[in-house]
Structure 1
């Protein structure tokens, strides 16, 4: 067996289609799946397999909301073993620059090609508030670091003696940020640092998204994916308003959920309407349905979005 065979994942028509789809101008669909809280990944794999025909890639969270779960790197590698293409989130909160570089090179060696570069949620927000955050870097500098690795150099501009990486890297964006100038400055810095796609936070104000697309993202030639969140009930929407900074679910949406005979179904209809709205404004959607990932195919059906077609010639 050759070294290339040892380091490459099993061939699958579903692997490595994300970059091709993003660069070809297709309407992009990703979905978020959380790693397990424990050593058994079977539920995560089951959810990802359910979603695979409907999405270009599965986004694996990295300690989202500073809640402890299995390593995103390990979880992404497990999905890859099952022929499912992951986007591996990489947050700066828990790693210094040595660990970040080590994990990124390790991800590439395992066959992972897609990274979402994040600063990370504050430790105090999570289930281990006594932990110490690292934050040696933040997302812009992480993007710069990945660009260095892709060019064959570490963060200190020393050559990588065992080949460069080739990672397709994205970044987060929040079109609902209160500071418009800050949003523009941060977006431009991430573009300059090498972001190849952008995934938004949960979108509740589509007029604001349209303004962002027209005034800030216009002409950037990078896919923007609108974050679509499944609201399961009025109580769930109220929790989001209390606990998620920068998000304000409209009262009309909360009232609609409260009045519904089946609030979960109503939430699916709302998410489908938002997918349709996003389709008119940007190049893709990122779907989040915490603990109900199995409902995402039905949401896409309600939105009139056809299954994703696999690309037959995966990139090695």
Structure 2
């Protein structure tokens, strides 16, 4: 059966996804509490895979837990921690447990995280991982040997950053991911909507694969300045930082800003990917303010 998210892509719906982090430990209660509030408001919930190289529960295990509670996941799979054998094993296991949507990522560098003495693998990167998924979907493994116990049918997506300084590099990377089989794209946090518009009109127009603009909930001016200082490639405009600084209730102002950005994205691309770190409970409020209605759909299978 086709997943809700894949069907929404086929039906050319305005797509809404949101990001949650797996637990750091064995109890998924908080993740489930957060994800439950997103049910019927998003087409799928992204489950991160060691984001920022910080230890958390397996994205595959966390995605299966969400599925068991009727919440459709987009399972992120990063190349940093596993070789080709491990990646294939996890993808086959994920598929057998009901996971269908995969976001193929290279992964953040070890030095960014909380286990700086660990060894990175990076045998593959995101483009080669997409090619690997395509092979598994056609019934062969990395070495082009047939899979005797049936092919997979995964729905792979990729990340994109329309704000990259190198326009030719952005175009080249995007086209490689398309050729490798990416069926949808989720962007990094968008702060320059002029660049998003340019990307949509000059690069993404070569194909009809949906682009979901990354929308980040800024909680305060301090939060925005921190992101500017420590997140590469992000430049939150001074006008937004000033709005947050002048607001009597900065968090409420951040919700308004995020809703405005969702509306902007609606006029430019095919969806939004919402990131509200530790305040995922506010995503429905952002969507309401942006005029995005609840989603009607069947439970994931």
Instruction: Tell me if 1:69 matches 2:21.
Output: no
* SS of 1:177 mapped into structure 2: coil
TM alignment of 1:247-266, pairs within 5 A: 247-266=234-253
* SS of 1:155 mapped into structure 2: coil
- Aligned residue among 76, 84, 99 for 1:97: 84
- Aligned residue among 64, 83, 89 for 2:70: 83
Quote the Cα distance in structure 1 between the aligned partners of 2:208 and 2:290.
25
User: What displacement does 1:64 show?
Assistant: 0.6
What is the TM-score of this pair, normalised by structure 1?
A: 0.94
- Root mean square deviation of aligned Cα: 1.1
TM alignment of 1:270-289, pairs within 5 A: 270-289=257-276
Gap runs ≥5 in structure 1: 1-10
4+ residue runs of structure 1 moved beyond 3 angstroms? none
Instruction: Tell me if 1:23 matches 2:13.
Output: no
Instruction: Tell me if 1:296 matches 2:283.
Output: yes
Quote the Cα distance in structure 1 between the aligned partners of 2:13 and 2:158.
19
Instruction: Tell me if 1:32 matches 2:11.
Output: no
User: What displacement does 1:125 show?
Assistant: 0.6
Aligned residues: 301
- Aligned residue among 179, 189, 192 for 2:176: 189
User: What displacement does 1:219 show?
Assistant: 3.4
What is the TM-score of this pair, normalised by structure 2?
A: 0.98
* SS of 2:38 mapped into structure 1: helix
User: What displacement does 1:253 show?
Assistant: 0.5
Quote the Cα distance in structure 2 between the aligned partners of 1:96 and 1:304.
44
Quote the Cα distance in structure 2 between the aligned partners of 1:311 and 1:281.
28
Instruction: Tell me if 1:242 matches 2:240.
Output: no
Quote the Cα distance in structure 2 between the aligned partners of 1:255 and 1:23.
41
The residue number in structure 2 matching 1:150 is 137
Residue deviations 1:21-65 (CA, integer Å, cap 9, x gap) = 011110000000100111100110111111011000000000111
Instruction: Tell me if 1:160 matches 2:147.
Output: yes
- Aligned residue among 166, 182, 189 for 1:179: 166
Quote the Cα distance in structure 2 between the aligned partners of 1:253 and 1:67.
29
Quote the Cα distance in structure 2 between the aligned partners of 1:193 and 1:227.
22
The residue number in structure 2 matching 1:310 is 297
Gap runs ≥5 in structure 2: none
User: What displacement does 1:91 show?
Assistant: 0.1
Quote the Cα distance in structure 2 between the aligned partners of 1:268 and 1:125.
28
Instruction: Tell me if 1:124 matches 2:111.
Output: yes
Quote the Cα distance in structure 2 between the aligned partners of 1:227 and 1:84.
21
The residue number in structure 2 matching 1:109 is 96
User: What displacement does 1:129 show?
Assistant: 1.2
